[in-house]
């Protein structure tokens, strides 16, 4: 399953500067390595966070001891992991000589694996860990996040590709940059620039997973992309993805702070730098991406409030599985995208019919 997750700072205050964003990204990667969940795309803004998160199921056979210890090293220090390793080794020896059965091994694993391969646990532990750091640094107490995070279920393939681009375009919509590659705290910015501590491979691997499924190169849950494959696959998809990010555009939303200290949004309608657009348009071959590119420069409420986004068949399948959550008069799941999402109508569908405030 793939989810677009959004969480906002309490009162939507612009609380995150460069240091805060770097620390959040550090924790994001730590819990990604621990949980088995995969960050496909992300963007860290001044007062909110977007994540495109893939949550694979726990392997049917569970985790080996070696894999469990590897994951624990992502968030625990060496002495703590060594204690778990010692306990496992001792219990394994007792199992071997018949003193105890395998249930004791499963119990040790269960202390940690209940937080793995789950959307709720991933977001809960990530946000709680970051809140502790933030409150200590800024000498504050209390809640940091406005409310429970929101999530939208996203089909792999074209829906995941479109959602990844929508997330990476957040700083451009806010008027912070002219080129999304210039924004350090996003998946595309990390993939292109590498960031201060890495070479961008982790970000590129996530984007490759988001972009390639519709070409059947890496379908969800069917196989992982090996590290040695990432460079070649990124080379294959990165030009098309950049064209989707850069083509067209006539609306930007700038985050500003009002006199009362509260966040306000200023709408600025204009094109991107002409030389940047011209260079990318010269290589553009698929006309549908022009309309999608323009759409992604607007705020598309379906992408944050649509609950389920994907093909008609995908939305109908989810609707059928969750039929009890809808009223008796509801006969089908898919709802056509309207307003600012109209460019994707017929290609992407939502399970919610958003008739108000859709752009």
Residues 236 and 295 grouped into a single domain: yes
25 phi and psi angles, rounded to 5 deg: -65, -35
Tokens of 224: 């992982």
Do residues 302 and 6 lie in contact, with contact meaning Cβ atoms separated by under 8 Å?
A: no
Tell me the β-bridge partners of 52.
Answer: 4, 41
Residues 202 and 91 grouped into a single domain: no
Q: Residue 57 and residue 48: Cα distance in Å, rounded? A: 28
Residues 83 and 210 grouped into a single domain: no
The mean of the pLDDT values for the chain is: 84
Residues 18 and 92 grouped into a single domain: no
Q: How large is the average pLDDT for residues 199-206?
A: 87
pLDDT in tens, 37-80: 999 999 999 999 999 999 999 999 999 999 999 999 999 999 99
Do residues 37 and 51 lie in contact, with contact meaning Cβ atoms separated by under 8 Å?
A: no
pLDDT exceeds 80 at position 220: no
What CATH number is associated with residue 162? 3.30.70
pLDDT exceeds 70 at position 164: yes
Residues 211 and 104 grouped into a single domain: no
pLDDT exceeds 90 at position 350: yes
Q: Which of 61-70, 248-257, 285-294 has the lowest mean pLDDT?
A: 248-257
Q: Which of 111-115, 228-232, 270-274 has the lowest mean pLDDT?
A: 270-274
Residues 52 and 88 grouped into a single domain: no
Residues 187 and 92 grouped into a single domain: no
What pLDDT, on the 0 to 100 scale, is given for residue 235? 84
Tell me the β-bridge partners of 295.
Answer: none
81 lies in which domain range?
65-113
Q: Residue 350 and residue 302: Cα distance in Å, rounded? A: 7
Residues 229 and 254 grouped into a single domain: yes
Q: Is residue 81 assigned to a domain? A: yes
Residues 74 and 177 grouped into a single domain: no
What is the total count of domains within the chain? Answer: 2
What pLDDT, on the 0 to 100 scale, is given for residue 197? 54
174's CB contacts (< 8 A; 6+ apart) are 45, 252, 253, 254, 255
What pLDDT, on the 0 to 100 scale, is given for residue 122? 96
Q: Model pTM?
A: 0.83
Q: Which of 17-31, 215-229, 236-250, 253-267 has the lowest mean pLDDT?
A: 215-229
**Residue that terminates a domain, selected from 268, 299, 330:** 299
159 φ/ψ sector (left φ>0, alpha ψ -120 to 50, else beta): alpha
Distance of CA 95 to the CA centre of its chain: 41
Q: Is residue 127 assigned to a domain? A: no
């Amino acid at each position: 399953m793939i989810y677009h997750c959004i969480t906002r700072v309490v009162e939507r205050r612009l609380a995150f500067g460069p240091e805060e964003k770097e620390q959040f990204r550090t924790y994001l990667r730590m819990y990604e390595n621990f949980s088995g969940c995969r960050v496909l795309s992300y963007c860290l803004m001044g007062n909110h966070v977007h994540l495109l998160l893939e949550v694979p199921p726990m392997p049917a056979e569970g985790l080996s001891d070696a894999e469990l210890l590897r994951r624990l090293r992502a968030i625990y220090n060496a002495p703590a992991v060594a204690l778990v390793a010692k306990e496992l080794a001792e219990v394994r020896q007792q199992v071997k000589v018949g003193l105890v059965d395998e249930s004791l091994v499963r119990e040790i694993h269960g202390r940690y694996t209940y937080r793995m391969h789950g959307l709720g646990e991933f977001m809960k532990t990530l946000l709680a860990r970051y809140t502790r750091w933030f409150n200590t640094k800024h000498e504050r107490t209390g809640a940091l996040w406005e409310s429970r995070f929101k999530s939208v279920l996203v089909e792999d393939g074209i829906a995941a590709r479109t959602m990844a681009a929508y997330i990476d375009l957040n700083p451009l919509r806010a008027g912070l940059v002219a080129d999304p590659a210039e924004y350090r705290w996003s998946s595309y910015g990390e993939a292109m620039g590498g960031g201060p501590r890495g070479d961008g491979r982790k970000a590129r691997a996530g984007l490759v997973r988001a972009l390639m499924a519709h070409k059947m190169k890496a379908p969800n849950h069917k196989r992982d992309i090996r590290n040695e494959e990432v460079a070649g696959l990124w080379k294959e998809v990165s030009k098309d993805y950049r064209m989707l990010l850069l083509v067209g555009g006539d609306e930007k939303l700038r985050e500003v702070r009002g006199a009362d200290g509260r966040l306000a949004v200023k709408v600025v309608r204009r094109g991107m730098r002409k030389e940047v657009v011209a260079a990318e348009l010269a290589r553009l071959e698929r006309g549908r991406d022009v309309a999608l590119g323009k759409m992604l420069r607007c705020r598309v409420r379906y992408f944050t409030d649509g609950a389920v986004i994907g093909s008609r068949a995908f939305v109908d399948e989810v609707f059928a599985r969750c039929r009890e959550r809808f009223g008796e008069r509801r006969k089908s799941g898919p709802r056509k995208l309207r307003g600012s999402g109209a460019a994707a109508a017929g290609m992407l569908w939502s399970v919610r019919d958003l008739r108000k405030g859709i752009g």
